[in-house]
Structure 1
Amino acid sequence: MEVVIAPADELARLAADSIEALLTRRPRTVLGLATGSSPLKVYDELARRHKDGLSFAHARAFMLDEYVGLPAEHPERYRNVIEREIASRVDLAPGAVQGPDGNAEDLDRACADYEAAIAATGGVDLQILGIGTDGHIAFNEPGSSLASRTRIKTLTRQTREDNARFFGGAVDDVPRHCLTQGLATIMSAKHLVLLATGRAKAEAVHQLVEGPISAMWPATIMQMHPHASVLVDDAAASRLQLADYYRQTYAEKPAWQSL
């Protein structure tokens, strides 16, 4: 696991660099897209680079999760969020972005079909991730199986409170259930890039990087991934015991080595 501590704008550029390198080398790259606040600067940077000529025309993308039961036109339905924040701002082809169907009549079948769709592409090449204050990635709440696959989950009160800001501050308007890629699904991606900023994420980042692997802090499973990048600002890194070492390692990194 590589830990980079830098200002948020630099973190966004680093993540975008990795995506651009993939698209340049392999135009049919498969991306994993996350919602929430953490990836927004990355999407802004990718949109800027698209204007400068970076093409997504042959790429495909998979979403991490989706609320259950939100109307198709709801602005906070994650498919609409991804369309607004990144898909409509680059040249991803129609239908190139897929997400689990939170309005399916048979949710179990929708989850199985989603797993099959990811596998049929050969898997995700680079997965963008954020982290919740309780250590969840995607919507794998504390207690999630480390071997889990795409499934329906009940959201914790804390997650719903954290997400209420997207619903005008009304916790009761945040859905209680979601479909989410499982931890094993996420771990199947070839490269994981997690971004976290702000002091509210400091304990979760500390557990992710330096704590024991535990279902109580689901993101800690990333310690077992062969290619995981954790990009955090000073505030999110404030609980890291080895923060000075991570800074030293990044400062002395060979110029030819990317994330």
Structure 2
Amino acid sequence: MYYSADIGVIGGSGLYELSEDVKKIEVDTPYGKPSDDISLVKVGAKTVAFLPRHGREHTINPSEINYRANIYALKSLGVKAIISPCCVGSLRFDIKPGDFVVTDQFINMTSGRKDTFFEKPKVNHISSAHPYDQKLRVLAMESAKECGITAHFGGTVVVINGPRFSTVAESRMFAMMGADVVNMTQYPEGYLCLEQEIPVVNIALTTDYDAGLEDHPDIKPVTNEDVLRVLKENETKVKALIFKLIDKLEV
């Protein structure tokens, strides 16, 4: 049977839990299996394909995610846009836990990840100067405002391998490099969307201050418990923003 979807969402669990009318499908790709089954959900007149990037039980480390299979699977369903929510640590005092960031740039500090579809004999070089779609970013900010959510328009996310958090020295270095937030999954996820010509937007929820901040000794390094707590506190906001954005998309 042939399945299709209008919009793809890659993120944590939650989207398919909002509706009882969910169709879960397995998708095979030339690059192996994606992180999990894809859940097809009707949102108004649109069909949304939801894929949990770490697997439904959060069993896949950031460096072990099959990013190519995930993006290819959504491409095979015909999605016209991908929404990529994630959690980030802040490198700036004014980007506070609970704030959202609609990023516009990334810095890749990962290694060893399969990060291109262009392998021999098909080698191609494309620009990644502006990796996130401007139209989607504007709509995401409009959605945040309408939901009463504090969001920052623009920001550079530095992407590390994980699963460990940064050292103090690394966190300091990332800030000196011009990064605003730190994450473990936006590369190569966002870039692979470019190669497949799928507009993508990253909506980042700030959960912590990474390894702490210079000149703020009262701000302690992040713990996994901190991340889970802030994520739980903002789960409703994440879902509201995503659904508001889906409503605005014309696909």
TM-score by length of 2: 0.31
Q: Which has the higher helix share?
A: 1
